[in-house]
Each structure stands twice: as structure tokens, then as C-alpha cells.
Structure 1
């Protein structure tokens, strides 16, 4: 263990995280620091050991032969440290940390979470509403819900829900919409962070996204939905963000068509989690709730 006295743990974390991501930006996002700080930590470790662990290329940081050999050991070590820290902190089977996208938390989860607490009063759930990348093996997050095109091969993943898109608007604006071509005559509320545009929903013989009138633009889908409720335009929404407003009648879907995107909601579990009972209880409850509110969109 004497060698570890020469190297700061933060430096080893930086090497391991960059090794997994292959670039400074994603590693910095996971570690909650700047890319420059990550780079400095790596340079410090390389100087301390007089070895190079990465080659700086135009595509990012690529492990040297030595780095590639060392990285699996670092990843395994960080995972064990995280498990040890959880035990030292006194983590119990009755506390779950859940990481979810903010719009999913605000428009779907928060309105139902009370039912989980009623059914399982011994389990406490802490919700982290964030889009930041989560490294499940080394973080303290027990469950993570993300929207992605593919599953992670290194983490236990449960497909929850197909993401489907469809127009929504206020009942007043819906009166103007008889066919998809009528969308040319109303403002369109846009989410500037959206992963898709209206061309995904339109058929070939219908208008194109570029032809639509631009209404207000927001950086949060929750605000887009609220703008539609306030009669400011039509929004290309999806099931989890719009289902409750549709059920309440504050929004309507003027057309029956729902089009699947390439993305699915996925539930990721921390490997070797010490909270198996609580995780299984939450997973079962979550799938049941999704089935109840969005039945035909649910995958399992």
C-alpha cells in the first residue's frame, strides 16, 4: 500500500473516469469539476509515477498500452471503495437514491411517489433530478432512470417505456386543428434541448418542420407544456410529460397518431447494491404505475 501514499485518490479517480469516457468533458461532468481540473489531476499522476497513461489525440484521450492494462483494476477498485464507503456511512436497505431527468420528476414521478411511500413506509427515497451522467458502479446512486437509444452493457438495465411523440395543445387551439396541415396556422412551442423535431411525427405528404410557425422556445420541456396550457401554441410532447395534463383536460391531443422515437426509458441499477429488497420493491411499483398511466407504451 506504500505506493498509494504517493498518489492522491482524486488523481486515480480522474484517470479511471477519463479512461471510461475517453474525453475530459464527460469525465468532468461526472466528477463535478472542470475539464481543466481533470487534466491537471491526470498530469499530476503521470508525473508522480513517471508514466504516461493517455495519448492526446484529435479524437480525445486514448489509453496507452500501460493505461489499458491498469484501467480495469482502477474501475474495480473504485467500485469496491464506493461499496465500502456505503457500509461505513451506514447505508441501509431502507434508503434509496434515485437519479431521474428533471422533466420526468416534475411531470410524472412527484405526483405518484406518495403512493410508493404509502405502500412501503419503511423505504425512504431521495430523488436527484438531473441530466448529468451517472457512473453507476462508482456513484452512490442506487437506481437511475435515463432516456437512451441503447442499453449499457456494464449495468443491469430494465427497459421501461418506449418514448412516443405526438402534438398537444389547449382545447381552444385544438378547435383549429382538423388535419396535420392545419398545424401550419398555429404557433409551435419548441424545446431547444429536444432530441427530435416535427419531421419525425409528420408523414411524407404532410408539412415539414421548417414550414411551421415558431412560437416561444424554452430550455425545459415542463415550461413548453405549461406554455401550451396557457394557449401559446402546440408542442410535440411525449407520454410521461403530457399524460396527467391530458387526463385533467388542460391539454388535448388533437390527433390520434403517436410515433415512436429511437429512445426508451431505462432503469439502471448500481452493481452489487446492498439494498436489493428496496430496489425490487421500487422497480415493481414503478412498472405498475407506468402500466396504469401509460399501458400500451410500457416495455418489459
Structure 2
């Protein structure tokens, strides 16, 4: 291919020196590549003249097809680059998309009307280098090899339910709910490790029969929150993600001061080599600013173990 490229440039300019300058090669390198192609074909492509390389009939016959082929290749790459620059693809979890990002990402697109935004949801690993997406937002401990990482917020959780559900239970009890009442109530995903941790953090005895009891089992927090809003029971939810529903009265935090921390965080992630791509840089700056506002609004950004760190200004070490 290098030899064909050298021939096409030399044939089009009819000058080995001009071809060398166009390709960033030496004149000797262009001459060597053309000679190797002539040897492979078994026929000369040029008649060398002083200051000019005149095509032989074979060379003249090959040139239009090769020039058209290289033009097509360049057009294909240019089309890809144009599409890549105009479309930002984000992959995130079902929960983060449905409870937080989908409510806000439109404002990012309106700030950047030249950029289309596509959001996909999945809890599976994705190949960012292979082109699955430009950016990923995932939960975990961080430390993904070769990735630029920005810690968005620590995953915390506390029991929530609809006001109607809470009122019905308290009528039966004849008093306000207490943490020790929850093992006997309808809990969404009752065998989830989060319940075990929350009970332990709050000194609530919970044996295996309580943790393994029958109940509604849903695959992600987004579904759990909507089931709780529908009055299906008590769910362990992340306050930051459900702030809007709490403010609107669709959900209530039973014990605002009793928030457990999961031990992992949500992260913005993309390959190191993509960090200065304009669309990635613009989304990163927008997301970190939005996250700082969200953390400041959620009760001052606190959890049971203290203030949640604001969204990172510098990438974490991976």
C-alpha cells in the first residue's frame, strides 16, 4: 500500500520531489517505493526525465483508478470523523439514567446544539476503545486500567416508601415507624445485601429468616423506587438519585439521619487518549458542574459518615 500511495502521488504531480513533500517522505524513499512496485508488476510505470516523471501507458491507465480509490478511502474516514465529532454516545446504568441523567442531559444538548447525544443503558461491561460508546458512567470501586476516571458521588442508601404506605403502616402500629419495625414490613428485594448492611448499621436484629423472606425482587434500583412509589413496600434507595421524587411527595425518607454507605461510587469513565476530544471534554465539564450542584442540594451533601465528596476536579489514579 505504501508503494501504491507513492506511485499515485508521483504520477499525479509528475514529480518525485513534490510527491515526497506531500507524503512526508524523502525523494529517495518515493523512488524506492515506485521501483519496488514496478518490480512487482514487471513493467515500468514512469519514463524518468529531468525534472519530470512521465507516465508510461501502463502508469497512465492505473492512475485514474488509484486516485479514485484513495479519494474514496479519504472520504470514508472524513465521514467517520464528521459523524464522530457530531455524536456523543453515553452508556450508563438503568438506575442512573432513569433517576438522574435522563432528567438533565437535554440541557447539555441545548447548550451544544451542534452535538447530538445518544444515551444507552446497560449494567454490563462495555468496550469503550472498541467504539461501544464515548463515555461510560458506572458504579464500582474505580481503578479501571487505561481509563480516565472522575468520581461523581458515593453510593449511599436509606429506606424510602410512598407517603400512603408509611401512613398505612403507622395506623396499624399506632405510632411513628422505627428502624426496628422494618424487618416485619413488606420490603422490596428483602434478601438484598443492602438490607443486611442497613440493619447492622442501625442496630436492628435480623436473622436469616428475615433476610430470606419472600417478597418483590427487582433487578435495579430504578424499578425498586417506582415500586415503592406505587405503594408496594419499603425500598433502600440512594437519596441523591431520588431527590426530585422526595421533593414532589412521591417518596419519603423514613429516617433521614440514618443513611448507610455502600462502599463504592459512581464514576465518569473514558479512555485516556480521548480526554482532549472536544465533545468528551464538554460533557465532562458539564456533568461535574451538575453533580456539584446536586450534591450541594441533597441536605448539604451529607451521609451517615460525613459529607459526600464533591465531584472530582482531577481524574482518579487508575
TM-score tier (shorter): 0.5 to 0.7
Q: 1:165-176 counterparts in 2 under 5 A?
A: 165-175=157-167, 176=170
| Aligned position for 1:200 | 197
Number of matched residues? 215
For each residue in 1:11-47, what CA deviation from the matched residue of structure 2 results, as whole angstroms up to 9, or x when unmatched? xxxxxxxxxxxxxxxxxxxxxxxxxxxxxxxxxxxxx
Q: Secondary structure at the match of 1:159?
A: strand
Cα separation, 2, equivalents of 1:227 and 1:219: 12
Cα separation, 2, equivalents of 1:112 and 1:221: 19
Q: 1:96 aligns with which of 88, 93, 104?
A: 88
How much has 1:99 moved relative to structure 2? 0.7
For each residue in 1:145-166, what CA deviation from the matched residue of structure 2 results, as whole angstroms up to 9, or x when unmatched? 1101232131111111100011
Check the 8 A contact 1:93/1:275 in 2, yes or no.
no
How much has 1:197 moved relative to structure 2? 2.3
How much has 1:258 moved relative to structure 2? 1.3
For each residue in 1:156-211, what CA deviation from the matched residue of structure 2 results, as whole angstroms up to 9, or x when unmatched? 1111110001111011233435320121332001188x6x3212122363132742
Cα separation, 2, equivalents of 1:191 and 1:113: 33
Q: 1:13-92 counterparts in 2 under 5 A?
A: 89-90=80-81, 91-92=83-84
Q: Runs of 4+ in structure 1 displaced over 4 angstroms? A: 85-88
Q: 2:139 aligns with which of 141, 147, 153?
A: 147
For each residue in 1:98-117, what CA deviation from the matched residue of structure 2 results, as whole angstroms up to 9, or x when unmatched? 11011211121111112112
| Aligned position for 1:235 | 235
TM-score (norm 1): 0.64
| Aligned position for 1:186 | 185
Q: 1:209 to 1:281 in 2, by over 3 A?
A: farther
Q: Secondary structure at the match of 2:278?
A: helix
Q: 1:144 to 1:95 in 2, by over 3 A?
A: same
Check the 8 A contact 1:102/1:129 in 2, yes or no.
yes
Cα separation, 2, equivalents of 1:97 and 1:162: 24
Structure 1 unaligned spans of 5+:
2-84
Check the 8 A contact 1:245/1:251 in 2, yes or no.
yes
Check the 8 A contact 2:156/2:262 in 1, yes or no.
yes
TM-score (norm 2): 0.61
Q: CA RMSD in A?
A: 2.6
Check the 8 A contact 1:107/1:240 in 2, yes or no.
no
How much has 1:88 moved relative to structure 2? 5.6
Check the 8 A contact 2:189/2:217 in 1, yes or no.
yes
Q: 1:197 to 1:244 in 2, by over 3 A?
A: same
Larger CA Rg, structure 1 vs 2: 2
Structure 2 unaligned spans of 5+:
2-75, 171-175, 302-307, 313-318
